[in-house]
Chain A
């Protein structure tokens, strides 16, 4: 078949003539052109069945098309029709289907008997779980059983979990790992706007002129959105500013990289507000019409002690008082504290203040995993509210998420201890709505929140909780100060059920392991960062006896005597659950798209009103729920958003002479979360085989450490030895180190600190003090 390049002119012309003739002939007889024999040699791949789904991994929620052949998923491509990614994925997404086919996939339930795991049937395992739960409730009360889920729960998973535990059993012991990643975003939204989730959407990227990334390594963590920004930069004059504590791929790709001392982002945000007010860049009419000023308590603690309690006391203040408060945050003062030059602070403020520039702020874990995470969220909103740059295309403070359904399941279904699908357990009306839809007596739903995640594991340690069911998450890699909680789980008299797809450090502590069906092995929905709900059908059969988390919960609920509430039929249960669930959100403020729409389209953004997604909330131009012209922050009773007076306060643990370095943890592009899926994808594992500790080149030189050398990290919680990385993926600032947390062989969380934001209860994984030694 192979022909070399043109040998001579003559043969070339001859071939051309022949070719044209053939083409012409083919056009005249179209039947021939599409003849079957033409496709004969194509691998079946050409006839792959492509089905749409949201990606399994991060919170961006890319639309993917999965190629199915002979009942197996064999290929992935980006869905060009998806509004989210328009056909582009990242390396994890492209290889995502391989995650289903690891050889060590769990396919049978395992029960621990005399220290050994014994294979059993699904029926027996579910019977055991139900009887153990009943027994625990009888002996120790309702609040001794708990469920710990995740932002990877599909919407139906989270919904039935909440219904079973909150509605039927009557305990608020429902939490999810999203507490560890976006609780501060939630409390930020609630305190500033009274309603959760971003007002804008990804399309803002196509309109904004300036992007400020607050501690957000988007090039690695939200690469598809970052590429969308880069694409805009190639077409228009836009600026990307990376404000971070570590030099990353994002810093290198941005127009300006600004490095600040950990925790001083609080002061920087206030300094930007100071500059905005000082230079008269405040959008006065917007602030007068749409904003209130408030302050809360200060010196609020770090939640390090068991049974830590905190309740903020908001208090209204005037603009003048707020202005006075900001005088402590002149760029000159903040520059000294943060290490950011006065020029850089003014530079950022000038973009926020320029009425002709549309600004998008983006953040994720840097702001949320912060002992003042709620405050940090408030402060970013302050900047946007003072300048009126909000709820408009391109003017958008945008809180990103890291899990496919942190928004859809944890935030919207409300699988947190204080939440209900609509509202909170403390509110009588909200309890009544839930009781009615759930078909349970209203007294069943307890009005008191119980434990947030860290406290839930502390309760397990203390013995207040005896039974815990863990689904779709890997807390024995991700909990801060991990050793305490691992030991807790192993204590006598605790019963742990783990539903997962592979053996992990969390299945190691289980008494019963249930094999789960993942992603497209079952039917479900995810909700991404931009309020988009996406549906996926079951495309392949789950291996062995694997069962969806939804159905596991339903089976147990039935065994516990809640057949009436869990009436769902196996063939149609996802549809039935979704239709039941969306009753909670009826109305213009949170209406969800009907299932048929989700099946047809690449998802829909709520509030879905009169057959239309609402891309920008609170703006009467786009949002039908507004009741007045212009802006209406209807989450608050008076329709006004709140500008919060939030000071700078130091981190819970600050480097000192014994532990002189900052320890920061995070992710890498190749691995997603604890790597239990991505490490089983050969391409990704080979690209990033193990964790490492990143050092600043100057520090490394001083300690004579080079890449690959063994380094001992010691904190007040323990020590760990890992290989060094110098001048590789990222460069921490001097006297800081960075460690990715995906590697279960090097559990960095053994030595992190379990301090958390007192308002959101979200731990700070980004800051603790560590000693660094060459081994």
Chain B
């Protein structure tokens, strides 16, 4: 009788366990089946994450400075069809079949000196976007299909963006997909004209504001303070 009692107790316990487990499993499934996320998905362009990329600031600050292998700003602009265009790939690409990803990023994520090109690899400001060849294409030919009348506009100049002598210059370009300031302004491949003197100071936009690229100034009206005392 005692034995039977123990057995039935265990059977009961087991049955309860099965039921509970099954219930939790089912509800787990159910939960998994209603994963409709009502929150709007996050944008796939990092907003406000600029600072995260500044985490190598001290490395940049301590990096030796190789003046013999530095690009000029003219070279930097030469690879762009217009000011703000995605640069072309100025070198041949071994494998055409991939979208870019690691084969591009192995040089362009953290930079470094390339013996083959005798230059420092520029660092991509948006390494999270891996379909590189979606926007950046190598040039296989020098000829044109037909002549074009399109002219490159002027590119921004350096040294004229400060209000006062020595005040922090404004950012003369859009920062969409270029939020990682240091990748262009502090690496060994940086043209010396746009090289930052203080990469260790992380929050670039604390001092450097964007000039009016993103705002259509002409749409803004002059602000006139309401004089409440004179109001009826």
Interface residues, chain A, with chain B CB atoms under 8 Å away: 1-6, 12, 15-16, 18-19, 22-23, 25-26, 32-33, 35, 37-50, 67, 69, 74-78, 80, 86-91, 94-95, 97-98, 100-105, 203, 206-207, 219, 223-224, 226-228, 230-232, 234-235, 247-250, 252-253, 355-356, 358, 392-394, 502, 669-670, 675, 679-689, 727-731
Contacts and interface: CB of A to CB of B under 8 A. Distances in A.
Contacts of B136: 91
A91 B98 contact: no
B219 to A, nearest CB: 10
A104 B145 CA distance: 10
B44 A33 contact: no
Given A6-B197, A47-B217, A253-B101, A75 B163 contact: no
Contacts of A74: 82-83, 153
Interface string B11-42: 00000000000000000010011011100011
A685 B137 contact: no
B148 A38 contact: no
Contact of A686 (B29, B139, B174): B139
A102 B150 CA distance: 7
Contacts of B5: none
B99 A249 contact: yes
A223 B163 CA distance: 42
A356 B44 contact: no
Contact of B197 (A3, A219, A234): A3
Nearest to B192: A2
Q: Which 9 A-B pairs have the closest CB atoms?
A: A41-B160, A43-B154, A206-B41, A687-B137, A231-B44, A103-B147, A1-B159, A223-B134, A689-B141
Interface stretch (B48-56, B113-121, B123-131, B224-232): B123-131
A683 B139 contact: yes
Contacts of A207: 35-37, 41
Interface string B175-190: 0110000000000000
Interface of B: 29, 32-33, 35-37, 41-45, 61, 63, 65, 81-86, 88, 96-99, 101, 128-131, 133-150, 153-164, 166-168, 170, 172, 174, 176-177, 192-193, 195, 197-198, 206-207, 209, 211-213, 216-218
Nearest to A393: B36
B147 A45 contact: no
A253 to B, nearest CB: 5
A45 B36 contact: no
B97 A249 contact: yes
B143 to A, nearest CB: 7
A176 B101 CA distance: 38
20 contacts: A2-B192, A19-B198, A19-B207, A35-B163, A41-B161, A44-B153, A67-B84, A75-B153, A78-B176, A91-B137, A94-B135, A102-B148, A203-B41, A252-B97, A252-B98, A394-B36, A681-B81, A683-B137, A689-B140, A689-B143
B135 A687 contact: no
B97 A727 contact: yes
B135 A91 contact: yes
Contacts of B98: 249, 252-253
A358 B218 CA distance: 46
A682 B148 contact: yes
Contacts of B162: 38
Contacts of A77: 84, 174, 176
Contacts of B195: 2, 5
Nearest to B152: A74
A37 B176 contact: no
A361 B217 CA distance: 44
Contacts of A3: 197
Given A687-B140, A728-B96, A39 B129 contact: no
A252 B168 contact: no
B223 to A, nearest CB: 12
B170 to A, nearest CB: 6
B181 to A, nearest CB: 16
A739 to B, nearest CB: 16
Nearest to A690: B141
B140 A104 contact: no
A226 B207 contact: no
Given A74-B153, A90-B134, A5 B168 contact: no
A17 to B, nearest CB: 11
Contact of A22 (B144, B160, B167): B167
Contacts of A670: 137
B146 to A, nearest CB: 5
Contacts of B86: 91, 94
A43 B156 contact: yes
B134 A23 contact: no
Contacts of A78: 176
Given A80-B176, A100-B150, 4 more contacts: A2-B193, A45-B155, A50-B216, A249-B97
Contacts of A37: 163
Contacts of B172: 41-42, 46
B33 A231 contact: no
A46 B134 contact: no
A176 B32 CA distance: 45
A290 B191 CA distance: 64
A42 B147 CA distance: 29
Given A26-B164, A45-B153, A231-B44, A104 B147 contact: yes
B148 A101 contact: yes
A730 B97 CA distance: 6
A41 B85 CA distance: 20
B45 A683 contact: no
Contact of B161 (A38, A227, A356, A686): A38
A345 to B, nearest CB: 25
A15 B136 CA distance: 38
B148 A103 contact: yes
Contacts of B170: 38-39
A26 B208 CA distance: 11
Contact of B133 (A25, A95, A234, A669): A669
